[in-house]
Amino acid sequence: MAANAKLTTLIEPVVGSMGYEFVGVEFISQGRHSVLRVYIDKPNGIDIDDCSTVSRQLSGLLDVEDPISGEYHLEVSSPGLDRPLFTLAHFEKFIGHECIIRMKVPVDGQRKFSGVIKSLLDGSIELATKEKGVLLRYENIDKANLVPEY
């Protein structure tokens, strides 16, 4: 998580200065097949030209700053229908929407939760699952995504 925070600090201002919303960053370490994925958005959505423009700008920045040792592939993407939720602000923005959350540590013996985001309470996300309501500490969330609405 510290590596993602460092990458966010480096990348977010550049994406913002280009007129895009910086949604978040994921680094998936897999040796020579590692991936740095940057999610961007704008009010009318993202197209391939937006991704290419941001990718070119970030490639130059990452070459100069060199925040990741070793080889990796840079991907710039829209958040998609199953939008990842990276911050408490993202959870707040999507109150009332269904999401899937994977925890770093089990909560009541369970690591994966699916339900509707009800509220935020002191650094926790209140999730209404089919069985019951549950409070999940934000710092213990490994990954969270919206469930697409069709």
pLDDT in tens, 84-101: 999 999 999 999 999 999
Domain range holding 121?
88-146
Provide CB contacts within 8 A for 91, sequence distance 6+: 85, 117, 120, 125, 138, 144
- The residue from 77, 97, 124 where one domain ends is 77
- Regarding whether 16 and 59 lie in a shared domain, the answer is yes
> For residues 118 and 127, is the Cβ–Cβ distance under 8 A?
yes
Mean pLDDT of the region 57-62 = 94
Q: Which pLDDT score is estimated for 111?
A: 96
Residue 133 above 70 pLDDT? yes
- Regarding whether 117 and 50 lie in a shared domain, the answer is no
pTM surpassing 0.95?
no
